[in-house]
Structure 1
Amino acid sequence: MTVAVFEHDGPWTDEEYLALGETSQRVELFDGSLHVTPAPTPRHQRISRRLGNLLEAAAESVGLELLEAVNVRLRPGRVVVPDLVVAEIVDFDALYVEATDVRLVCEIVSPSNATTDRVLKMHYYAAAGIDWYLLVDQATGVLRLYRRQGAHFGEHATAKPGEPLALDGPVTVTVDPADLLP
């Protein structure tokens, strides 16, 4: 991937981005530019796995699918890799999931990318029409559930460790942040 990235001229297209293939880093496409972050920490991955286990059962019960770290195409030139998504049944061999099929997106906020998750991606997800956004602060364990209101997200519910958060859309599940943390 390194050679292809450094020899590339101009903005990246969806096709050029997808041609990079799988990498050990998380590579996303933001309006023609690549955004590269290192692999997640063990803490991040534990939170993701535990939350994914809870969301998966809830998603399956209403005919939805839980997916981890997949390409989500928000619009041409904008492909992100959220930590978790709850989506309509998708083509499992497709290179990306369309934002129109995503019902909930979840990001586990790392200190190195907090602004991206709390500001940039939040804006991008709302603009793409995704109705629910769940942010997990891995440092504090706080869960923040947002619901789209027009072109923006409004805070719907918040929970600290020991205070369960009840998701009521698009899946129904209760999550105690304390159960996610190491």
Structure 2
Amino acid sequence: MTVEMVVPAWMREQVTAEQYAAWTEEQCAGIEIVDGTVQVSPRASKRHNRLARLLANALDGAAGSEWNAGTGFDVRLQDVPLNNRRPDVAVYWADAIDVTPTRPEHVLLVVEVVSPGSETTDRIVKANQYARSGIQFYWRVEQAVTGAPIVYTHVLDPATGRYRDDEIFTGLVKLTVPFPVEVDLGEM
């Protein structure tokens, strides 16, 4: 006996921005749209979710009244073909809290927490997409099996349109840009 996977039609066809806007939150949860096609994200672990929440809370507290930090929402990188990413954490203009979709010009910083199965996407693909869309700061968080996570910070180089490596942190993240922030990840 063989088991066949039945893939819904909406996962096999190219999706437009208009179609995606009509989908329910349940349909959009756990997916991203890349070049118009649905990409299913692996389910995040409790450790991954906790780490993203701690970072979002710390960034939100440090960002001041101009910026908000949050999790679980799309950033529309491109309309045609549709490219929607759902970063683990995004820092965005506070004035854009009710603007949908969130666009790169609303976003200052994105954070991706690398999980098994997302290594290449988070390290290379998303970094290139975020840089091309003009998001100024990108943090990649590598989860260590033992010890504190490692945070790699990257800053957009406007001349090349690519991120340049900035600082690397283990345990305590202490930065003055894009705003003063201090996060102790040593308890993870």
- Quickly name the TM-score band, shorter chain normalised: 0.7 to 0.9
The alignment status of 1:71 with 2:70, answered yes or no, reads no
CA contact (8 A) 2:66 2:95 kept: no
Sequence identity percentage: 30
Question: Within 2, Cα distance between the matches of 1:107 and 1:81?
Answer: 9
> Using a 3 Å threshold, how does the CA distance of structure 1 residues 167 and 4 change in structure 2: closer, same or farther?
farther
Measured against aligned partners, the alpha-carbon deviations of 1:14-35 in whole angstroms (never above 9, x if no partner) come to 1222323213741111111111
Deviates more, 1:61-70 or 1:145-154: 61-70
Structure number with bigger Rg: 2
Amino acid at match of 1:118: R
Please, which of 90, 111, 118 is the counterpart of residue 113 of structure 1?
Answer: 118
Question: Within 2, Cα distance between the matches of 1:13 and 1:90?
Answer: 27
Deviates more, 1:15-24 or 1:83-92: 15-24
Measured against aligned partners, the alpha-carbon deviations of 1:67-108 in whole angstroms (never above 9, x if no partner) come to 212110111111110011111124444442111110000111
Aligned residue in 1 for 2:4: none
Please, which of 40, 51, 58 is the counterpart of residue 62 of structure 2?
Answer: 58
Taking structure 1 as the reference length, the TM-score comes to 0.87
The alignment status of 1:135 with 2:140, answered yes or no, reads yes
Partner SS, residue 25 of structure 2: coil
The aligned runs of 1:1-182 (5 Å cut-off) are: 3-6=8-11, 9=13, 11-23=14-26, 25-59=29-63, 61-76=64-79, 77-139=82-144, 141-150=149-158, 151-161=161-171, 164-179=172-187, 181=188
**Which structure 2 segments of 5+ residues have no match?**
1-6
Question: Within 2, Cα distance between the matches of 1:138 and 1:19?
Answer: 35
**Which structure 1 segments of 5+ residues have no match?**
none
Count of residues paired in the alignment: 174
How far apart are 1:166 and its partner, in Å? Answer: 1.9
